Structure 1
Amino acid sequence: MTETKAGQPVGEAKPRRRQARGERRIQQLLDAAANVFCRTGYTSASTNAIAREAGVSPGTLYQFFPNKEAIAVELGERLTNQMREAHGVVFTPEYAALPLGDMLDAVVDPLVEFNCQNPVFLTLIHSGDIPGIMTEDHDALHVALHARIEELIGFIQPKLPPERRTRTATMTFSLFKAGLELVLAHEGEEQAAYIEELKASLHGYLAPIIGTEAPSRAP
């Protein structure tokens, strides 16, 4: 087999380049779909509209996705995986050891930022006719997020009875979701104000239950 100067087999270089080009094209189509879904809603979106948004022909789109549903599933999968990774970053013992206000900043800010940068995530979930696999993945994500919140509360206030810890996690998650809806419905200074209102609501609810100071740990 012929080799390049760097010792790289020529026959392997082209497939890798094609694969990289294909991945860039897929991302281009997914970005376009996210814009179309946010602008028109999932139900009204079409593959032709997504192709126009991406600046490609419908035929090019069909080389990668057979239909709108497949695009939505791939987009939802990628966003769900990113959100799972975000959970692992923000729900940590290090953050749980902070005073309540600082902990809320550390946890809420990246989650809100992710949703603000990816508004299509909630757009798809709120659509009544999205593929069932997306609903299942979203439900599983919510279960995982609830469990993370419950773990965090247990770390901060280990003497809290299990049933109270579960209720507190449920209420906290519900407050966050409701506040997030308001955050995403506004822009600029109003959005920033609603982010602070969201944190204030969470602080007001959690303070009597888990306290406001950094949790003490016996040496």
Structure 2
Amino acid sequence: MTSQNASITAKQPQRERGRQRVAALLDAAASLFANKGFEATTMTGIAAQAGASIGSLYQFFPTKEHVADAILTEHATDLHLQMSALAARANSLSLQETGSQLFAALIEFRAAHPAFAVLVEARGAPFVRASGIRQRLREQVLDILRHKAPAISDEELTPIAIAILQIMKAAVALNGETDLPQRDAALQALREMLLGWITSRLGPATS
């Protein structure tokens, strides 16, 4: 969030009707961010997409940055819960199973929340949560790797966690190309490539 708007906070609805209105506004904004990007999306467009007045939007969100921040907060909560759950069961899974579930979870999450990638990966984003969300996600992937390779130091595991997330960006982009011939086969090839690389780095003895 820009320093100009840092002291302004979004209004929290107190009644169920207000919460439903906010949910509709955020759904509309998420759709526009996913399809048009952050810069091209306007407050007027968000209100129109939601079938609401611009005054209703400004009642809850002083700026577009606050709208984006609210979406990131909501989506990141879901993602962090999924990653925490995977870390909690990692000890009962093989290395291959852990990698497969991580691959599937991240693709499914991004597919279900297309605005998330647009907002969290935007360079120079004018809202504050993006860098913190990326950092926490890296730490959660690192935590999952710790469960599978307790003998390997964080210094060695951290680049692997970062690389996994970069590979997942490619997988998410590939998954989004719904008209691409052999997309599913290519995703499977990418999955096998990732799992083979993780196994080579962490070793079958750690699984």
TM tier relative to shorter chain: 0.7 to 0.9
Shift of 1:185: 4.0
Corresponding residue pairs, total: 195
Question: Over residues 176-211 of structure 1, what are the superposed CA-to-partner deviations in whole Å (9 max), with x where a residue is unaligned?
Answer: 233333323446885544442332121121112223
The answer to whether the 8 A contact 1:97-1:156 is kept is no
Q: Is the 8 A contact 1:101 1:203 kept in 2?
A: yes
Offset of 1:129 from its aligned partner? 5.6
- Of 116, 120, 144 in structure 1, the residue corresponding to residue 115 of structure 2 is 120
Distance in structure 2 (CA, Å) of the matches to 1:110 and 1:96:
17
Residue type of the alignment partner of 1:114 = F
| d(CA) in 2 for partners of 1:108, 1:132 | 28
Are residue 73 (structure 1) and residue 65 (structure 2) matched?
Answer: no
How has the CA–CA distance of structure 1 residues 129 and 57 changed in structure 2, closer, same or farther, with 3 Å as cutoff? farther
Matches within 5 A, 1:64-213: 64-92=60-88, 94-128=89-123, 130-133=125-128, 137-186=129-178, 192-212=184-204
Write out per-residue CA displacement over residues 2-29 of structure 1, whole angstroms, 9 at most, x where no aligned residue.
xxxxxxxxxxxxxxx9611100100000
Aligned 8 A contact 1:97 1:214 in 2: no
Distance in 1, Cα, partners of 2:189 & 2:118: 23
The equivalent residue for 1:3 is none
Residue 35 of structure 1 corresponds to which residue in structure 2?
A: 31
Q: CA deviation at 1:31?
A: 0.3
Q: Which has the higher contact order (CA 8 A, sep 6+)?
A: 2
**Gap runs ≥5 in structure 2:** 1-12
Distance 1:139 1:193, change over 3 A: farther
- Is structure 2 residue 22 aligned with structure 1 residue 26? yes
| C-alpha RMSD of the superposition | 2.7
SS at 1:91 equivalent = helix
Identity of aligned residues (%): 25
Larger displacement relative to structure 2 (172-181 or 103-112): 172-181
Q: Is the 8 A contact 2:100 2:195 kept in 1?
A: no
Cα 1:97–1:187 change in 2 (3 A) is farther
Separation in 1, partners of 2:111, 2:93: 25
Matches of 1:185 and 1:90, distance apart in 2: 27
Deviations 1:151-175 (A, max 9, x none): 3323223333443233333333332
Change (3 A) 1:55 1:110: same
Is structure 2 residue 52 aligned with structure 1 residue 60? no
Moved more, 38-47 or 206-215: 206-215
Contact 2:34 2:114 in 1 (8 A): yes
Q: Distance in 1 between matches of 2:171 and 2:99?
A: 14
Q: Does the 8 Å CA contact 2:86/2:102 hold for their aligned counterparts?
A: yes
Q: Conserved in 2, the CA contact under 8 Å of 1:101 and 1:212?
A: no
Cα 1:183/1:166, change in 2 over 3 Å: same
